[in-house]
Amino acid sequence: MATRTSDLGYGWGWLAFLGVISVIGGILALINPFAATLTAAMLAAWTFLIFGILSLVQTFRASDRGALFLWNLLISVLMIALGISLIFRPLEGIISLTVLVAIMFIVLGIAKLLYAFGMRPLQGWGWVLLSGIISLVLGIMILADLPMSATSILGILLAIELLSNGFFMLLVAFGLRSLRRL
């Protein structure tokens, strides 16, 4: 069954609403990056705890009791422990998460640099190189400013993500609204 182009435009209002909520969340996160960082850490903590508990239940419900059972049991217990640790020691958790983010930036930066040099004769390799340098420098700056960077960097990254997603959703929503008129 074919979908008419104009039918795609009927859900634009909800998408625009979600976009506005995301932009507001991003602005609030920029206004108070520490609160956003703490909120992100608590969200991660509860996610690890709940996912760990559900994974543990599923591990015991599975009929296989071999090596996979032990592996799943270990992962489930570690997720539960991580969740509890983040809930009861949020500042230490924030520092740990910030270190992981910094390491991720450094690894991605190195990977982008290697990729850029591999594609060097092609047009646009310089942009990949620049992106790699930025990622690498950001990672090093975050690590160099620990533990101070831990109080805000996750909140700032969350704010950037919420803002970019919000603006993206608004652009798509208004594009869909224009399809409704066809």
- Domain membership of residue 66 as a residue range: 8-180
Residue 3 lies in a domain: no
Q: What is the per-residue pLDDT for 88?
A: 94
Distance CA 30, CA 24 (A): 10
Residue 85 lies in a domain: yes
Residue 1 lies in a domain: no
Contact criterion met (CB below 8 Å) for 139 and 10: no
Residue 134 lies in a domain: yes
How many structural domains are present in the chain?
A: 1
Q: What is the pLDDT along the chain (182 residues), one digit of tens a residue?
A: 455 555 556 678 898 999 999 999 999 999 999 999 999 899 999 999 999 999 999 999 887 777 788 898 999 999 999 999 999 999 888 998 889 989 999 999 999 999 999 988 888 888 989 999 999 999 999 999 888 888 898 899 889 999 999 999 998 888 888 876 66
Residue 2 lies in a domain: no
Distance CA 109, CA 114 (A): 9
Global pTM reads: 0.70
